[in-house]
Structure 1
Amino acid sequence: MAMAGSVRIMLHWSDVGELRRFEEAIRALGNDTSRKVLARAVNRTGEMARTKVRRALTKQTGLKRKVIVAAVKTNRSDWEDLTFSLYSTGGDVSLKFFEPKETDEGVRAKPFNRSTVFPATFLRGGEWPGGRGALLAGGHAFFRAGTKRLPIERARSGVIIPAEMVKDATAEAFTSTAATVLPKRVEHEIKRVTKGVVS
């Protein structure tokens, strides 16, 4: 059974303690200008974090980068809400997306970037090995749900993208980028808008 899930990771300018040293300069800019400055800084930092998250999540899950790019969505900061977020929904990813190959023992695939055999799973119909037919359902792997030939169910990898986003190297990529880059981007934007007078 595929378990559906949803998760969101967020970057807010006030989450980073080092930004306190910029508070006086931010207040001096006035409300509209300061929010514009902070929105730009949050978005630029978020974009850098997103690049690192995609890279880490690709390696962590074993999925192709284009799958990760399609699965992880972005909400950018604006004047009203100074938050940049990455979010994803979905459940247990099919083995189809992990380079599956049929073997004597079952389908071999690479979820989590580890070559793993899933016993009693198959990609094709017919007798093994010489009587095998075409791929079933466009390359999805299946297993029998009971002792008879039917019904069959789609085999899953154990990879759930929303769950992987908030742990291990992927979570670290997001939080470490926010902590190190956001203060520098705020400082850069303040200097930029005041032409170096306020920093």
Structure 2
Amino acid sequence: MSTIRVDLDGDGLTVFGHALAALGDEAKARTALRRTVNKTTAMAYTRVKRALAKQVGAPQAKIIKYGDVRRIPAQGASLSSRIVASGGYMPLKHFGARRTRRGISAAPWGKRRVFRSTFFVQKLGGQVFKRLPGQRDAIDKLWGPAIPRELIQGETAAAFELAAQMVFPKELNRQIEGLASGAFK
């Protein structure tokens, strides 16, 4: 399982101190920070799904299904929120696979290529297979990227970092002002 995680430590403790001073109450400060972390993670989750779909070359719905990508919000006293993905590799058939003379053409990682000497097996769900060399009746299923691995690298990781840097400070100020003025409870 791969995880993208938002934690408050180091500089986060300084931020917590400023929030505590502004609100005058540790419980309110903790509430402001928890809400901020959750809002930041929710916005990052949207951007991560979009970047992940582009990075692996499959629709978001397939990525969520095969990667079991989900957001776990901070609750109670915890100031930790996570975006997690589990699962294995996605079948090659989900990357726009189509039959050509030379084999199956598909676009995992957003780059179309022909997988030579491959074929569809309709009885096995329309999956893409390749015959194993030297074995007449042995076939091997072909796979694309693994969502948990892709979640923590490339454009997806950069999308998370950017969202966290842009959203967190603004949202924290909004939460502190709202709780201090009594607009939020």
Structure 2 match to 1:36: 31
Alignment partners' CA distance in 2, 1:63 and 1:136: 23
Offset at 1:109?
0.5
Assess if the C-alpha contact under 8 Å between 2:40 and 2:168 holds in 1: yes
Offset at 1:21?
5.4
Which runs of 5 or more structure 2 residues have no equivalent in the other structure?
A: none
Matched, 1:85 2:71: no
Matched, 1:13 2:42: no
Distance 1:96 1:29, change over 3 A: farther
Alignment partners' CA distance in 2, 1:144 and 1:98: 20
Offset at 1:112?
0.8
Assess if the C-alpha contact under 8 Å between 1:26 and 1:190 holds in 2: no
Assess if the C-alpha contact under 8 Å between 1:19 and 1:183 holds in 2: no
Offset at 1:62?
0.6
Query: Which piece of structure 1 moves more, 138-147 or 182-191?
Result: 138-147
Once the two structures are superposed, residues 174-193 of structure 1 have per-residue CA deviations (whole angstroms, 9 ceiling, x without a partner) of 01111221111111100000
1:103 maps to which of 100, 106, 110: 100
Structure 1 match to 2:60: 65
Identity of aligned residues (%): 31
Structure 2 letter corresponding to 1:39: R
Offset at 1:22?
6.0
Larger radius of gyration: 1
Distance 1:113 1:42, change over 3 A: same
2:42 maps to which of 19, 44, 47: 47
Structure 1 letter corresponding to 2:102: E
Query: Which piece of structure 1 moves more, 174-183 or 50-59?
Result: 174-183
Alignment partners' CA distance in 1, 2:57 and 2:111: 8
Assess if the C-alpha contact under 8 Å between 1:57 and 1:165 holds in 2: yes
Q: 1:123 aligns to what SS in structure 2?
A: strand
Once the two structures are superposed, residues 139-166 of structure 1 have per-residue CA deviations (whole angstroms, 9 ceiling, x without a partner) of 1001112323312121112x11111111
Structure 2 match to 1:138: 125
Q: 2:35 aligns to what SS in structure 1?
A: helix
Structure 2 letter corresponding to 1:120: S
Assess if the C-alpha contact under 8 Å between 2:44 and 2:159 holds in 1: yes
Structure 1 match to 2:170: 184
Structure 2 letter corresponding to 1:161: I
Structure 1 vs Structure 2 CA RMSD: 2.1
Once the two structures are superposed, residues 96-123 of structure 1 have per-residue CA deviations (whole angstroms, 9 ceiling, x without a partner) of 1111111111110010111111112111
TM-score (ref. length: structure 2): 0.88
Structure 2 match to 1:166: 152
TM-score (ref. length: structure 1): 0.82
